[in-house]
Structure 1
Amino acid sequence: MDFDKYLEGQSKQRPPLYESDSFIYWKNRFETYVKSKDLDLWHVITNGDFQPIVQNPETKLDEVIPFEKQTDDLKTRLVKNNEAKMVIYNAFQVKDNKIDLLVQQYEQFVIFKDESIDSAFARFNTIITSLKALDEGYSSKNYVRKFLRALHPKWRAKVTAIEESKDLTSLSLDELIGNLKVHKLIIKKDSEIVKAKVERKFITLKAKKESSDEECSTSGSEDEEYTMAVRDFKKFFKRRGRFVRQPRNDKKTFQRSCDDKNDKSDRKCFRCADPNYLIGECPKPSKDKNQRAFVGGS
């Protein structure tokens, strides 16, 4: 019991507010309040309004007393009628206010993006239970549709599937909540599986990258060592006035170039200028021995 509500029954300014879920308790408090305020008020509440009538002594019939002929005492009693109505109105006025507030909460009810289904259902159930207590309940069909509409847009695909596969007129709110909770668990499990796969892929790629970096580093070191060795080798032969041997491939290229230049059409005997043979095949004798020796040496 709230302390503020308890004080409502003790105050002479207003009666205890009506509570449908604890009617007997409220009735006793209300009766105590009215009687402590004015016994005539309780009489009016339980028996009806005071009537401005008087019995005609001649006809023995009740006659309504005109206002101008009413005594002050009668007028005071008639005022009790309106006071009793005001007490009842003040006691029940909170019900209308509560209903208006709950209806507004019901119509504006939404489920937040990261809110769990259990938390949303707890809030929603509090609203509809309070409306039922105030005799302002909605049908179960309305509860189901309202809860579906209140879901965050990320649930849109699931809502569409439920609307297409279920009969919302017969679907209970508890069944709907169970369906949504199962769907939430499935999504969570799938998300964990995908996350684990991404993490494994990331670790694999990271390991490959580290291995590649190590190979590149080793290859770079070997290339650097080779370059230094070649440089030292060249320096060694330069100091001795010798040329570095031409690579085999370059030598072949040079030989082919020379062969191309020395075409048969340009060949001729050095001794007699005959293009059909060379000096080694020349039938003419040499003029001196020194020239033959030179040719043979060549």
Structure 2
Amino acid sequence: MQRPPLFESDSFIYCKNRFETYVKSKDLDLWHVITNGDFQPIEQNPETKLDEVIPFEKQSDELKRRLAKDNEAKMVIYNALRRKEYERIFMCNTAKEIWKTLLITHQGNSQVKDNKIDHLVQQYEQFVISEDESIDSAFARFNTIITSLKALYEGYSSKNYVRKFLRTLHPKWRAKVTMIEESKDLTSLSLDELIGNLKVHEMIIKKDSEIVKAKGERRSLALKAKKESSDEECSTSGSEDEEYAMAVRDFKKLFKRRGRFMRQPQNDKNTYQRSRDDKNVKGERLCFRCGDPNHLIGECPKPQRDKNQRAFVGGSWSDSGEEDDEKIKDETCLVA
């Protein structure tokens, strides 16, 4: 007989189901011995109507073969256990005792089993599928719960599984759920068929989302390029304005510099001003004797006036003949 699958303590439910399937596929009598116990060489006495043990020498070959099933079942269990697990069941005498010990060790007694069932039922009732979760991921979580319930001999009907999974889908699936409820008979719809239908719709949604996303990216790239172009134009315009401002500043500096170079020297300016002032003063001076602006009194060709002669003072001839020479001298000094 081929060696059965090994037990793993951290995944006992998975190993238990594999082991059960393996034993049943080989011999149903072996599984009967493991779960219900060894066959007993007992038969009813026709006279006393009581069950009596058949002596070995009176046992038929068929009965002996069936009685050997217990040892065969024990060997199958031994081959499926590691050394550490074997030490747990070393003191057990029958295959039934070995199997019961393994169940209590890894699944617990009836109280522990009930607690596990309550915990799994709570997980089943609170099961929710998020918006971004895929159908495969959600079904994997859901299947772990219902498989664990089945392993503990507790579970729901297939119809309940289908309805529960549909109710836990995100609201974005509402249209699809409504269509399934209207077009399918949920009493005959299997969970696998439902999952396949939802996965097809999920692929369509994903494809449409990628198309919309690609359009959004293209639009974003176009807006980005337009913005960069606008920024470049603004930068170019700003550079041109800056260059123009720099040119104006340079021109102003040059203009100021040229104006400073073309300005008349200070000495020449002073000479020009003095000559101009001299002309003005000279043009305003008059001879006190004759009133001629072309010469002064010292150069006057006319003879000196007497005391009764009028003097030209302040641009007019004086009518007073009684003014003395001191007054004339004062006026002359004042004009000068």
TM-score (norm 2): 0.42
Compare CA radii of gyration and give the structure with the larger one. Answer: 2
TM-score (norm 1): 0.47
